[in-house]
Amino acid sequence: GESVGLHLPTLSVQEGDNSIINCAYSNSASDYFIWYKQESGKGPQFIIDIRSNMDKRQGQRVTVLLNKTVKHLSLQIAATQPGDSAVYFCAEMAGNDYKLSFGAGTTVTVRA
Amino acid sequence: GAGVSQSPRYKVAKRGQDVALRCDPISGHVSLFWYQQALGQGPEFLTYFQNEAQLDKSGLPSDRFFAERPEGSVSTLKIQRTQQEDSAVYLCASSLTFRDSGYTFGSGTRLTVV
């Protein structure tokens, strides 16, 4: 399953399939990006980060891709599991700042 | 502690009442942040502390909001004369070096003003 366009609030994916969550950012000065996962009733949980000098970074079952030319970020989750159901936020930080700016989030629902 | 702890988890306040929200950051974390998360939205920055110094309070919505961290560890966010638009989840986060792994967030305090 994939969220298309700039941002889609919800994504429904079959268990075992790969998920792709997309995010557009607006600040050209942003040089550090983080994906967070937020489950109901909990705070955002760090998933993976990437700096602007990289195009791709891989973690356990997750990959983040950064396209600075079009200011686009994506999170790929391999073999999506029921425990991956949550809201996913991309967040950006500019080089001279300490504040994170969050997008609106994408709700991922995994179908059994 | 092992994580960022916030209390209370839930708070219902009558309009006009003052509330105080507490955050216990991870021990040794110098930086502490407060964020406000409205229903269905991403967190929005409120204020930032480095040790006991409040270096940035540009995100506080009004002068009814006040935050402190007097000894550089526990922080309190106080909202005076609460209004319905203050209803949100208030998240606290702490970090040692945030450009290495972002922040660690607490579970938040859900404030409902009735």
Kindly report, residue by residue over A45-85, the tens digit of the pLDDT: 999 999 999 999 999 999 999 999 999 999 999 999 999 99
Q: Name residue B21's beta-bridge partners.
A: B77
Is B104 in contact with B95 (CB distance < 8 Å)? Answer: yes
Mean pLDDT value of segment B36-58? 95
Q: Alpha-carbon distance B33 to B57, whole Å?
A: 10
Task: Give me the pLDDT at residue A5, please.
Answer: 40
Q: Cβ–Cβ of B43/A103 closer than 8 Å?
A: no
Q: Alpha-carbon distance B8 to B22, whole Å?
A: 7
Which of A99, A101, A102, A107 is best to mutate for the B interface (most B CBs within 10 A)? Answer: A99
Band (A1; pLDDT cuts 50, 70, 90) = low
Mean pLDDT value of segment B54-76? 96
Nearest CA in chain A to B92: A43
Q: How far is B90 from chain A (nearest CA, A)?
A: 10
Q: Cβ–Cβ of B91/A44 closer than 8 Å?
A: yes
Check pLDDT > 60 for residue B37: yes
Q: How far is A104 from chain B (nearest CA, A)?
A: 5
Nearest CA in chain B to A9: B40
Task: Give me the pLDDT at residue A107, please.
Answer: 95
What's chain B's Rg over C-alpha atoms? 13
Task: Give me the pLDDT at residue A8, please.
Answer: 62
Band (A4; pLDDT cuts 50, 70, 90) = very low
Q: Name residue A62's beta-bridge partners.
A: A77
Is A25 in contact with A13 (CB distance < 8 Å)? Answer: no
Report chain B residues whose CB lies below 8 A from the CB of A44.
43, 91, 105
Nearest CA in chain B to A49: B101
